[in-house]
Structure 1
Amino acid sequence: MDLDTILLGLNGLLGVALVAIAAFYLKLTQSLASAPRLQPAATPLTPAPSVDVVIPAYNEASNIRACVEAVLTTEMLGSQQFEVWIADDQSTDATGAIAAELAAQHPNVHHLAVPPRPDGETWRGKNWACAHAAEFAQGDYLLFIDADVRLSPGTIPAALAEAQTHRVDLLSCAPKIECSCFAEWLVQPIMMSAIAIAYDFNAINESTAVEDAFAAGPFMLFRRAAYDQIGGHAAIHAAIVEDVELARQIRRHGLKLRYVLGIDLLSVRMYSSFATLWEGWTKNYYLGTEENLPLTLLSAFTIAMVFVMPWVGLLASLTVAWLQPELSWPTAALYGLTVLTLGAYGLLRITGYRLVGVPLRYWWLSSVGGVIVVAIALTSIVKTKTGWGWTWRGRSLKAS
């Protein structure tokens, strides 16, 4: 294969990449620019609703104290007390001890030792812990958050005000994604951008179709009566992507769902290492497309075109300039398309940062992040189909 043939192939791929980046940009800005944002509550709610905060926790010794202490800073704009339930899901680390200590220190914090799952029933993920804790909660609203979520003092009253203003039965908030380890900086901005495109805020809020329902698991505020009406977590006990299934249950029962940006009031650090990031995303990626193989492969191809191909073009341009200094039309096209794709990619990242603070750190290594995401997508297909290595926090997700 001669150089001109290789250049023609590269130019074709760069052309596809340019179209993919443009489409990605348009969809991302459409989703984020008009997304409703959770705002601090200005006045007390009348009457002041009661709320129970449920935190399912399995081996969360590194997170649970900071999570609960953040919740306890809540500035309720009313006289009613809120309760916090730590559902310790048979942790093997110090989670239980820390939860017991917090419960002893604060009268509205409760430590629940979740019993083993019932024999003969398939309960996946945090569904069992959430269902168990919900039996004890008595508030008008049930708020489920993950142990790695950090709330600002105004988050809960803002969410209650939003839920009551729009008369919703389930309010879910997309949190700000915190990145600390190197793998997070590479992968999380790509994943968050892809999710924002796949689940357009206005489309979710305006639709009444079950298939359009979506919710973000780190923050889900239910009207208690609605939670009971749909059967709670018990109704979706075998679901792995439980947040989306609960949102669909809300729609199936003719109840109202609302999805908003909560990045100004709450944050989450989803993973602390490459190993946990890999386990988490390979668990969910294929399920997120409802096990649609063509869609999963298309999404992986799109990620490769948007986040990897511009840098392949740059590497190819530098290589060709060194090997063949004389300019020909294929090399000129390569240089031009490389500049265009890199410029379009830069605009995409800057726009994401401007709209919702998508991190720019290590942006020049996005090709590495893109390759990792493509590998996650392909691995997720294999794990989900075969059950090999399909785990979360070491617990197998394969149906027994």
Structure 2
Amino acid sequence: MTMAIALQLLLAAGWLAAFGLLVLLLALELTMGRAPRLGATPAGASKGGKEANGRDILSVIVPAYNEATRINSCVGALLASELGGMNWRLVVADDDSSDSTVEGLEALIEAGAFPSPPLEVLRCGPRPAGERWSGKTLPCSEAVRLLPQRPTPDPDPAATEWLLFIDADVTVAPPALASAVAEARRSGADLLPLAPRIRCGCLAEWVVQPIVVALLGLGFPIARANNPDDPTAFAAGPFMLFRRSSYEAIGGHRALAAEVVEDLALARAIKQRGLSLRYLLGIDLLELRMYPDFGSLWEGWTKNWHLGLNRNPLLTLASGAVVLGLFSGPWLLLLLAGLQAIQLPLNWPSLLTPALVGVALQLAVRLWSRWRFGLGLRHWWLAWLGGLVIAAIAPVSIWKTSTGRGWTWRGRSLRPY
């Protein structure tokens, strides 16, 4: 009797996981599949056919901390941008790196390796004693503070000034910046964040990132974020384009210096102020490679997971349990079906059917991701491992965030003073 009950529970769990994956697939298509996407706009023109103001000023700020292995490709792609006659400048704001981030760039600048516009490297120095600055809030704030001291030749008083904060692990296509500015002008956006295409390199990324991307698409639907009457706010931190006057109206990064997930905080501040948020998919124009290895992935997601769920312990634990059930559950049933086939050959198909349906739906989700987002199928059969990793991330994130122990970003403690 006990074995029969256990079998029925496993069957129910298997079919529940399959149903959950089907719901996930349909919900992704309804939310992310039909989400607004930014395409390439010719430099100097907006989508509405109006000429973009070539006198506008675009200040591109790249906060960097120990980015020696990635900064050159990021900067090189930015300097290859097609911006027509727009007046722009590029500043790499170094957050007191301990590697050769600054020295490498300065050597290339001195050698004349970078074309116009001039690339400037700002050394922000150590963080002020007695002040709490989290993540990239300090270099972003310092770069903006010093921008007025970097005059643009023959400025137009009527020109709009834009601030673009872009992470060093992002690579942009040549039309990306012009397209973003044109769309912000056309839509009247005060903040225009773009969600990049996620590129996976190491095994840890292949097993975890596709699941995370799917969850983010459901947790922060773009339609609601773009609705001015809906309080939902979301922003993709790697690419955030602000109208400078609006950025200053909310106090910029300085007003949110201690925020660990500063992109969400900035987006919420924009909407709370009654300003316009325009969140788009930018997967045709920019690419993001987040984590080079498992250690950095673990540090990054245990830093953010609990915060992204508003520090709600039940919701955080539930998210880990749901991911475990959806992505690890079908593979566990497949294993049990194999063991059952050896011992009880007459009953084994009962577990095999929901297991195979669940695995097939996992493949369907990855095929959908390849179709809509260009995310490859590599290692898709290791979804069970991704489920286990995320199930472990959830409780560890609660512990780190609540106690401050081991709560770091790139080795820097995030623990409050």
Q: Same fold (TM over 0.5)?
A: yes
Alpha-carbon separation, structure 2, partners of 1:393 and 1:232: 23
1:192 aligns to 2:240 (yes or no): no
Return the alpha-carbon distance in structure 2 between the equivalents of residues 20 and 315 of structure 1. 20
Partner of residue 26, structure 2: 26
User: Residue 156 of structure 2 aligns with which residue?
Assistant: none
Q: How does 1:303-322 map to 2 (within 5 A)?
A: 303-322=323-342
Residue 268 of structure 1 aligns to which amino acid in structure 2? L
1:178 aligns with 2:204: no
Which residues in structure 2 correspond to 1:275-286 (within 5 Å)?
A: 275-286=295-306
Unpaired runs of 5+ residues, structure 2, are 46-51, 149-159
For 2:345 and 2:378, locate their aligned partners in 1 and report how far apart those are by CA, in whole Å: 34
2:199–2:375 contact (8 Å) kept in structure 1: no
Aligned to 1:364: 381
Question: Could you tell me how far apart the structure 2 residues matched to 1:391 and 1:243 are?
Answer: 18
Q: CA deviation at 1:111?
A: 0.7
Look up the match of 1:94: 100
- Quote the Cα distance in structure 1 between the aligned partners of 2:255 and 2:2: 61
Within the alignment, does 1:290 sit opposite 2:310 as a pair? Answer: yes
Residue 43 of structure 2 contacts residue 82 of structure 2 at CA under 8 Å; is this kept in 1? no
- State the aligned residue count: 395
| 1:63 equivalent in structure 2 | 70
Preserved CA contact (<8 Å) 2:141 2:254: yes
Letter in 2 for 1:69: G
Task: Return the offset for 1:208.
Answer: 3.3
In structure 1, distance between residues paired with 2:191 and 2:107: 31
Offset, 1:9: 2.1
Write the letter of the residue equivalent to 1:92.
Answer: S
RMSD, aligned α-carbons: 1.5
Q: How does 1:204-223 map to 2 (within 5 A)?
A: 204-210=225-231, 212-223=232-243
Question: What pairs with 1:192-341 in structure 2 (closer than 5 Å)?
Answer: 192-210=213-231, 212-327=232-347, 331-341=348-358
CA deviations on 1:302-346 (whole Å, 9 max, x unpaired) are: 21122111111111111111111123xxx4432222232222222
Q: Does residue 113 in structure 1 map to residue 123 in structure 2?
A: yes
Q: For the Cα contact (< 8 Å) 2:224–2:230, is it kept in 1?
A: no
Q: Percent identity?
A: 41
**Cα distance between partner residues in 2 of 1:60 and 1:346:** 35
Show the counterpart of 2:392. 375
Runs of 4+ in 1 over 6 A off after TM superposition: none
CA distance in 1, matches of 2:72, 2:42: 29
Whole-angstrom distance in 2 between the partners of 1:292 and 1:25: 26
Deviates further, 1-10 or 49-58: 1-10
SS at match of 1:282: helix
One-letter amino acid matched to 1:306 = L
1:66-81 mapped onto 2 (5 Å cutoff): 66-77=73-84, 79-81=85-87
| Contact 1:82/1:108, CA 8 A, preserved across alignment | no
Could you list the per-position Cα deviations for residues 190-244 of structure 1 after superposition, in whole angstroms to 9, with x for gaps in the alignment?
111111111111121124344x101011000001111111110001000000000
Q: Which aligned pairs between 1:31-46 and structure 2 lie closer than 5 A? A: 31-42=31-42, 44-45=44-45, 46=52
CA contact (8 A) 1:151 1:266 kept: yes
Q: What TM-score do the two structures reach when normalised by structure 1?
A: 0.95
Contact kept? 1:20, 1:305, Cα under 8 Å: no
Gaps of 5+ in 1: none
| SS in structure 1 at match of 2:146 | coil
> What is aligned with 1:133?
143
- Counterparts of 2:119 and 2:139, CA distance in 1: 16
Contact 2:62 2:167 (8 Å CA) reproduced: yes
- CA drift at 1:63: 0.9
1:102 Cα deviation from its structure 2 partner: 4.1
- Aligned match for 1:50, one of 51, 57, 60: 57
Q: CA deviation at 1:245?
A: 0.3
CA contact under 8 A between 2:63 and 2:140: conserved in structure 1? yes
Cα separation, 1, equivalents of 2:361 and 2:291: 29
TM-score, normalised via structure 2 length:
0.91
